[in-house]
Amino acid sequence: MRELYQQKILIVDDEPINISAIAEILGQKYALSVANNGEKALRILSEGLRPDLILLDILMPDIDGFEVAKQLKANPDTAAIPIIFLTAKKDNESIATGFKVGAVDYLSKPFQKEELLLRIKNTLQIFNLRNALNNALTESQKYIKTIESQMALIDKNIIFSSTDIDGKITEVSNAFCKISGYRKEQLIGKMHRIVRHPDMKASFFDKLWNTITRNETWHGEIKNRKKDGTFYWLETMIYPKYDADGNKTGYTAISHDITDKKRVEELSMTDQLTQIHNRLYLTNSFVREIKRAKRYGFIFAVIMIDIDHFKEVNDTYGHDTGDFVLSAVAKILQSTIRETDILGRWGGEEFLILLPHTDIFEAEKLAEKLRQSVEGYSFDTVGRKTCSFGVSVFNLEEDDCKETLKRADTALYSAKNSGRNRVERLE
């Protein structure tokens, strides 16, 4: 017998066999709608269809799933609809892109029936509860008491905790205990610093505390430490709670586990060979530094680095040895730069360093220190290797990083032509 109300799911896939397989699994439990391409999905949603969940393929002939997701998230009418990507694409870049364009989950084909049903159930459950909480918070603080009474119903699935005015934990859900590794009796009466990860700076929590003590809601991402020393990431909302007379009695935090999402983000920003930042991360860092420079008038410098005669290493000793040299150079550079500097692999045997709040002369001095560090290192098998360095500084009159990189590249080219194992600068 069907339930009086069935949650609605929109399936978007250009392969009839895939649609049939999914419909066979879900048809008895959910009300299904189907679109066999991205354009049709956008059209029927614009015409008023409001599913509780969208199962979206990525590879489609007209508009791919990433673009469909972007357009849905950009539209206020459809932005809140959760999206799960069902796709044969399993690479880290595709997974990272899926989360960036707004997906809440990512399931690779072929998938198991039980896994699909569980992912859908959990997603709908979480989003229904979060929507209920957000609506209640938006309408009025008088609904806080109702929300807290519902906590008992979601204890198993929602990560939440409550504290008194001073921040001592008064209540935690079983989900909180499960993810942190602590029992309730080990948490009650303690401060949240029991799960604080050393990577999170004190200034972060100062801002958080200042927000909630002003009776405002705080929302952000927090890295915590489990009892066994490992870590997990939470997307968290913290808001004040009140008694029946309107007196503030403490704070409630509701969280969502985003550990997998953060791990994928880290993979997408890391060069897999050298384990330093990759070009994508460097490009994003350039954007951030330019915005900071424009706003505060702070200059920053760039060092471009190329390993001298690297082709000879590959030709003589093989690519495995070449990979070893690349990784070793990355470690030398990483151990020599300052804590605030941003190092990444730019491509091939080239590295790039961004140096915030640094002028051309300071950058040149650091580049010389790096040059000496590489020159003084004896690499297994190949012996001594050197690097050439090009240094430039960002001009506040410029709008992007193109000219800065061009100057650094020109300086590097000059260092190469002047005999290699040199530092050249171009302002």
At 365, list the tokens: 């001095």
Q: How distant, in Å, are the alpha carbons of 54, 113, 119, 320 from that of 20?
A: 16, 13, 19, 47
Element (H, E) at 387: strand 387-393
Strand ranges, E, within 248-341: 248-257, 300-307
> Distance between CA 389 and CA 372 in Å, rounded?
11
φ, ψ dihedrals at 352, nearest 5°:
-140, 140
| Amino acid residing at 179 | I
Catalytic residue among 139, 171, 289, 349: 349
| Amino acid residing at 21 | A
> Distance between CA 59 and CA 328 in Å, rounded?
39
> Distance between CA 79 and CA 257 in Å, rounded?
20
The residue written with tokens 């049939």 in the block is 20
In contact, 298 and 288? CB cutoff 8 Å:
no
> HSE-up of 263 (CA within 13 Å, CB side)?
6
Angle, alpha carbons 291-271-376 (nearest 5°) = 95
Residues 6+ apart with CB under 8 A from 183: 177
Is 349 an annotated catalytic residue?
A: yes
φ, ψ dihedrals at 107, nearest 5°:
-125, 125
Between helix 319-336 and helix 360-375 the angle, nearest 10°, is 130
Q: How distant, in Å, are the alpha carbons of 52, 315, 322, 329 from that of 311?
A: 55, 6, 8, 15
Angle, alpha carbons 408-413-414 (nearest 5°) = 95
Element (H, E) at 24: helix 16-26
Question: Any idea which residues carry the catalytic annotation?
Answer: 349
